[in-house]
Structure formats: structure tokens, C-alpha cells
Structure 1
Amino acid sequence: MNRYDRLIERWSRSLAKGVSRRSIVRSLGTLLVGGAAMPLLPVARGQESANAPNDGDSTSCDYWRYCAIDGFLCACCGGSVTTCPPGTEAAPITWVGTCRHATDGKDYIISYNDCCGKSSCGRCSCVRNERDRPTYVPYLSNDYNWCVGSNSNVAYHCTVSRIVGIAEG
């Protein structure tokens, strides 16, 4: 055990000679503030920005936009593919997926927004996890309660899918 104690003591003394306490405190502060800001990055996705064909049944789980969805479809709950039902609000924090439209052969980036404010719709449950990532990659995971970012952060109602853009390359 003495050998490890001497090794740690030598390492600690050499570190103390070359590094100031202020630089350590500054580095720790930067790490804490930067780490706390990381979950804020995928916030506030906008309205639809790309025009894509809307052929297909938007109340079916097989609809092309729902390739990475997990939840109840707002099209069955009083809303539409892109709008939340009355009495709910879209959470500003989303997850994204890339879905291929079979007719035009293009890949579209889809932003999935949970609609919050009412209890769960309970109709048209759809769980498709194509290219879903683990929960430690939050913006690509559909397993979170995304309503925590909304004003009515308690209740999840349903999910909408908005086209953000066309995936290039």
C-alpha cells in the first residue's frame, strides 16, 4: 500500500506545482455550466418548413411520417398530423426522426412534438422505433415525457409530426 501512497503523493505534488486553484475552479465551473446547458439545445422546433405529399391515412400507424413516433396520434384525438387538439399545447422540446416518403423517394426530417395539457387521448396508439436512440441521446429518443418543457408539464395527450426539412446526402 505504501507504494500507491507514494505514487499518489508524487502525482498530487506535481499537479499542485503546475496548476493553480483558480484554473481548477474555472475549469469545473465551465464544465458545470456547459453540462447544464446541453439539454437545452434541441428546443423550439418551428412549423413545417418543407412541402411533402400528404398521401396516406394519417390515423394509421403505417403513415409514412410516423417512422419514429411513440404515443397517441393527434389525428385521432381531435387534432391533425401537425396541430394539437384544442385545449392542449405543443411542447417546445422535441425529438426528431428521418422518414422516407415512398412516392417521391426523399428522406424528410420529422420533428415530433408531444401535445400537453389534457390526460392521455388513449386512441390510435403507435409505437415505431425506427432509428430510435437510447435515452442518453435525448433529441433522437422517443422515450421521454417531453411535456416537461411546456407550461402544462403534467399531462401528455398525443403527438404531432411536423416536417422540418429534407435530409440531404
Structure 2
Amino acid sequence: MNKYIDRLLSGLDKAVETSARGSARSHGRRSFLARAGASVLGAAALTPVLPFDRRASAAGAETADECSYWRHCALDGNLCSTSGGSLTSCPPGSSASAVSWVGTCTNPEDGKDYLVSYNDCCGKPTVSSATFCYTSEGERPGYRMGLYNDINWCMANTDKGYHCTVSVVVGLAE
């Protein structure tokens, strides 16, 4: 019985060796390295880049009717009202970011300017059915953090995953 297994393994060894040598003759190291490099580059392109930057999503976004609502004048993100929450509250299972950005929006009904706090809701994955808005009126460069909306404001929370954004009126602008 052992002689039979030895012959079988010896034949398997020769078949693998013949296949490996044939592959080595037809495929050089350079073609292997080129394919391996392309695979690594492709995997890197699919991996999210940190910190999270929503400007890439804005390129293909179309402004929906919900985005033209006056409170959304400086909003950059998914509307919580279209992903399980409301205009002012996060969806169940998520929590408001500990930090936020502020915009000054004009209410067309009374002509007054209001301070609007935009809080990201954190802790749940983003859903593709949510309405994405990129209005960004009055946005400032990244060094003016309280007025910059292109970063993931969930960075101050334990759960850092971005889900959506709420618009809360905090007072009359003077």
C-alpha cells in the first residue's frame, strides 16, 4: 500500500514541477510584478481614504428639491430626512456629532437671516437611497474649521462612521 502512495505522490510531484517550470518559462518575473502591482493599485483605489472627504461625492450629485430648502444653504452631505431621521434629529441607531459647522441662511418667508448648525449623524453606514446635497453657501477654507463642511465631523465621536446630516436653527443672526 505504501508503494502505491509513494508512486502517486511521486507522479503528483512531477506534474506540479512540470507545470511550475512551464509557467516560469512562459511568464517572467516582470509580468508577475506588473500584474501584482496592478492588483495592489486597484485595491488601493477601492479603499476609502481617510480622513473622509465628501467633495468627491459632490461631483456627480444633482441638487434635489429637498436641497433647495432654505435651511440647507450650507449643507454638504446626505439628508437625514431621507435616510430614516428628520430635519432636526438623527435616525435611530446613530448619534449627533459632538462638533459641527454653522451656516447663515436667509428664510424667504420672513427675510431674516438665521444661524443653522449642521450636525453629522454618526455610527451607521451611509445608505445609497439618501438624498445628497452640496449647497455650501458661505463655505470657508479648511483652516476655518467652524465654517468648513468638507470633512467628517464624526471624528469627535466614538463611532466615526458618517451617516447623514441634520439642519438645526440655533438662533437669529445679528
Q: What TM-score does the superposition give when structure 2 sets the normalisation length? A: 0.61
Question: How much does 1:151 deviate?
Answer: 1.8
Q: 1:59 to 1:117 in 2, by over 3 A?
A: farther
SS at 1:108 equivalent: strand
Q: d(CA) in 2 for partners of 1:116 and 1:93? A: 11
Amino acid of the structure 2 residue aligned with 1:158: C
Q: Given the alignment, which residue of 72, 97, 105 partners 2:78?
A: 72
Do residues 160 (structure 1) and 166 (structure 2) align? yes
Q: Given the alignment, which residue of 142, 147, 150 partners 1:143?
A: 150
Amino acid of the structure 2 residue aligned with 1:116: C
Matches within 5 A, 1:6-155: 60-122=66-128, 123-153=130-160, 155=161
SS at 1:139 equivalent: helix
The percentage of aligned residue pairs carrying the same residue is 53
CA contact 1:59–1:124 (8 Å) conserved in 2:
no
Q: d(CA) in 1 for partners of 2:71 and 2:122? A: 20
Q: Summarize deviations over 1:59-99 as a string: whole Å, max 9, x none.
A: 71111100000000000011001000000000010000000
CA contact 1:59–1:75 (8 Å) conserved in 2:
no
Q: d(CA) in 1 for partners of 2:119 and 2:170? A: 12
Counterpart of 1:28 in structure 2 is none
The structure whose residues are more often helix, as a share, is: 2
Amino acid of the structure 2 residue aligned with 1:141: Y
CA contact 1:89–1:115 (8 Å) conserved in 2:
yes
SS at 1:110 equivalent: strand
Q: d(CA) in 1 for partners of 2:127 and 2:84? A: 9
Residues matched between the structures, number: 110
Which protein is bigger by CA-based radius of gyration?
Answer: 2
Q: Which runs of 5+ in 1 are unaligned?
A: 1-57
CA RMSD of aligned residues (A): 1.3
Q: Which runs of 5+ in 2 are unaligned?
A: 1-63
Amino acid of the structure 2 residue aligned with 1:156: Y
